[in-house]
Structure 1
Amino acid sequence: MSSPRFPRRLVLSLVMALGIASLTTGLAQNAPAATAAPASETTTAAATAAVAFADEFDGPAGSAVDGGKWLTETGDNVNNHERQYYTAGTSNAALDGQGNLVITARKENPGNYQCWYGKCEYTSSRLNTSGRFTSTYGHVESRMKIPRGQGIWPAFWMLGADIGSVGWPNSGEIDIMENVGFEPGMVHGTLHGPGYSGSGGIGAGYSLPGGAAFADAFHTFAVDWAPGSITWSVDGTVYQRRTPADLNGNRWVFDKPFFLILNLAVGGYWPGDPDGSTSFPQKLVVDYVRVTTGEASSGGGPITGLAGKCVDVAGGAAANGTAVQLYDCNGTAAQKWTVGSDGTIRALGKCLDVASGGTADGSLVQLYDCNGTAAQKWATPAAKDIVNPQANKCLDVSGGSSANGARLQIWTCTGAANQKWTVTR
């Protein structure tokens, strides 16, 4: 993290649609050190991971991106003093017919576009999934080949979907990858939120070994995002992990839905403007974008316990607050549970939840909308306990009863049979 960082981005057509006056972000100037991770540590999606979003960019050469997945933004960005105008259509963003999306920055202005500094000198493209796809947690990944040159600024990032109501930086921003052209061998990953935005963002850089440049080959950029933690990797090598402890007492705003953004900027406070060494056009070539979760693609399986009976959603109802109970195993959807890498246990599209976030013995367990709180986080150790770490208590059959309809609760872990569970993954 050797160079100064400045506020950088503005959501363009989205901002206008939401009525947001301004939105700027940036990388960290004096961020705390990242949580240590061994250089050899790698991150992989679970073999059973469910694909929540995928675009492989297959299609005829010259065709547009899938409008059902991506919104194309238009306009310029005065906040960061970027030089490009983001256009609609396929001139600056199109499929190449070989399974890639190509975002192209050009030194041109065929539409006589006007920018904050006068007649625009460059065009490019910016795409986002707002209103089309959001995710809370998961493995978010893209394989891409970035461009090169002074003043060139590609990025793959996310914004909180509540930006229209809470504004930036309260919405939060997760920068999965960004590169500035004067650092050809380095990319950055950063968090922005209330009290740590713009030049105060929390993040770290990753450099390729041997002085290699990212523009010379495709690389895979990813985050693994779970309640209370975000971990960055390049080509499977982890280089930083962030938790609320890194925010100097500021608020963690990353346990809610976010949408994806891909863009290629030209110029701006952080990268500086292009100069005589910068050639055009420059291309960001994207092989794919994928978001996977820890939920089993098979639709889940039973969790069996006392007397060989199953964890069951009463009446098969998906309403918030529906009781979770013990019941004869019957193979219905009310007994098919997925154990996610994000710590959740889910059925019927909702989460296993400790009512009112209780931590006391006897706090009942229910079904509820997944919301990322500690009341919905569970650990499943080899001892066959299912533990709520917030309470440090075990999933328990009330009264040790094996009768159909016996309520499930949390209770101090005792090792008794009414706290032992077999999770089918």
Structure 2
Amino acid sequence: MSCKLRAGAAMVAVLALVLGGTAQAEAPADPTVMATTFADEFNAPAGTPVDGSKWQLETGDNVNNHERQYYTTSTSNAVHDGAGNLVITARRENPGNYQCWYGRCEYTSARLNTAGRFTQAYGRFEARMKLPRGKGMWPAFWMLGDNMGQVGWPQAGEIDIMENVGHLMNTVHGTLHGPGYSGSGGIGAAYNGPNFGDGFHTFAVDWAPNRITWYVDGNAYQTRTPADLGGRQWVFDHPFFLILNLAVGGYWPGDPDGSTVFPQQLVVDYVRVTTNSGGAPSGQITGLAGKCVDVANASTANGTPIQLHDCNGNAAQNWTIGGDGTIRALGKCLDVNNNGANDGAAVVLWDCHGGANQKWATPAAGDIVSISGNRCLDVTGNNPANGTRLQVWTCAGTANQKWNVPR
């Protein structure tokens, strides 16, 4: 398969938003069950544009793949249909109003992503869709690493949940792209099933540390782990953002021909993301002087400080270590306040939203490391007194940064 990245200013703008991304969905109160972190059911009235709080619309063409479409922000290319669906429409333009790499653009379409709005590492990522058909159609539901702006592609990683080429309507593909296994060298497999243009079907991945499994209509058809990469780097260990698009033409599907009927539509019933926290380890997190990580006054208000306190077994000290990188208590998440990435940034309780400032690594060495700033959970001033606030600080391996975490 070919890389689906675009050249041009629009993609640069997307990448600039990635690092500051936040999510919009709330998690349920019970952190021991699967938590919905993102959902768009597309239930807006007919003619309503894409929800800008969840998605942004990219613009431009794609010379990298020799695709033929120009992506627009127009509701003629992406709009709610009033029947519970988002419809992404590829149209033939004659004459075209946009300039593409090959001249006047012959087609328009739409590409949506959640960069700057929602990112997540690990969980279940699912969409229910009906695919377009015809030579040259290339619909995709996929993800890119949120560090694209720092390391580029393919180092940031790409997870293709579903791709299809419209002249092969009974086959969809799931693929990983990373350093040394990108483009046509991606690691993946095909799923052969019914005609995916005849009705709606669900396409999903379950993503856990060092393991990704692909599904079509609930049927698992491949699982990939680092062992499949032949010693090459596994880069699927950090948050990714979502992308939905309908491309026209390109190296892989080929260009439309006389048999292709326009317009063509990718119809999306829903997109949903949940955590993998069901059955996750939970209990007390103990540290300096054998004391517990505690939510001050057992308050569930956003911004409540996290402190050190004598262990007492109450819910304010019962933490769930989620498979999505979150650490949860009282139905909310351990959060670095205001996305702080500097020494001394306060650690608080906050609504779970999937942002990088709520992602933590818990290595066997006993550190609890904030993904957003690569700093360790730290007892302020090395003070074991009850009520001492917790913060993030440069990891030093000291006693006030060592924790016993449920596993």
TM-score, scaled relative to structure 1: 0.70
Q: Which residue of the partner structure matches residue 39 of structure 2?
A: 54
Deviations 1:145-166 (A, max 9, x none): 0110011000000001111110
* Deviation of 1:51 (Å): 0.8
1:17 correspondence with 2:17: no
Looking at structure 2, the residues matched to 126 and 221 of structure 1 have their Cα atoms a distance apart, in angstroms, of 18
Aligned residue for 1:175? 160
Q: Does 1:331 align with 2:327?
A: no
Q: Number of residue pairs matched?
A: 333
- Say yes or no: does 1:229 pair with 2:211: yes
Q: Over alpha carbons, which structure has the higher Rg?
A: 1
CA distance 1:109–1:68, shift in 2 (3 Å) = farther
Which residue number in structure 2 is paired with residue 157 of structure 1?
142
Residue 119 of structure 1 deviates from its aligned partner by: 0.8
Map 1:299-318; keep pairs closer than 5 Å: 303=283, 312-313=292-293, 316=296
Q: Distance in 1 between matches of 2:274 and 2:291?
A: 26
Look up the SS of the partner of 1:189 in the other structure: strand
| 1:15-414 superposed matches below 5 A | 15-17=11-13, 48-109=33-94, 112-208=97-193, 212-295=194-277, 303=283, 312-313=292-293, 316=296, 327-332=311-316, 335-342=317-324, 346-347=328-329, 348-349=333-334, 357-358=363-364, 365=366, 367-369=368-370, 409=404
Structure 1 residues 326 and 54: alpha-carbon distance in aligned structure 2, compared to 1, 3 A threshold = same
* Residues 144-200 of structure 1: CA deviation (Å, up to 9, x unaligned): 001100110000000011111101111110000000012110000000010000111
1:366 is displaced (CA, Å) by: 5.3
Unaligned runs of 5+ in 1: 21-45, 360-364, 376-404, 411-420
The 3-state SS of whatever aligns with 1:214 is coil
Contact 1:148/1:184 (8 A) holds in 2? yes
Matched AA of 1:205: A
Mapped contact 1:8–1:268 kept (Cα < 8 A)? no
> Secondary structure at the residue paired with 2:88?
strand
Contact 2:281 2:322 in 1 (8 A): no
8 Å Cα contact 1:134/1:257 also seen in 2 = yes
Deviations 1:292-332 (CA, angstroms, capped at 9, x unpaired): 013479xx9973799xxx9930575999xx99887112332
Contact 1:303 1:311 in 2 (8 A): no
CA distance change for structure 1 residues 19 and 352 in 2, over 3 Å: closer, same or farther?
Answer: closer
Distance in 2 between residues matched to 1:6 and 1:49, nearest whole Å:
34
Provide the aligned C-alpha RMSD in A. 3.6
Q: CA–CA distance in 2 between the matches of 1:122 and 1:19? A: 25
Question: Do the aligned residues in 1 keep the contact of 2:7 with 2:63 (CA within 8 Å)?
Answer: no
Separation in 1, partners of 2:127, 2:97 = 33
3-state SS of 2:275 partner: strand
8 Å CA contact 2:46–2:82 kept in 1: the answer is: yes
Contact 2:96 2:107 in 1 (8 A): no
TM-score, normalised to structure 2's length? 0.73
Q: Is the 8 A contact 1:12 1:74 kept in 2?
A: no
> Is the CA contact (8 Å cut-off) linking 1:101 and 1:286 kept in structure 2?
yes
1:110-144 Cα shifts (integer Å, max 9, x gaps): 76111111111111100101111111111000000
CA contact (8 A) 1:294 1:339 kept: no
Supply the AA of the counterpart residue of 2:191.
Y
In the superposition, relative to structure 1, how do residues 328 and 311 fare at CA in structure 2: closer, same or farther (>3 Å)? same
Q: From the superposition, tell whether residues 164 and 345 of structure 1 become closer, same or farther in structure 2 (CA, over 3 Å).
A: closer
Deviations 1:264-315 (A, max 9, x none): 0110000001111110110000000011013479xx9973799xxx993057
Counterpart Cα distance in 1 of 2:9 and 2:46: 26
Q: SS of the residue aligned with 2:141?
A: strand
Structure 1 residues 336-360: Cα deviation after superposition (integer angstroms, max 9, x where no partner): 3225345875444267865xx455x
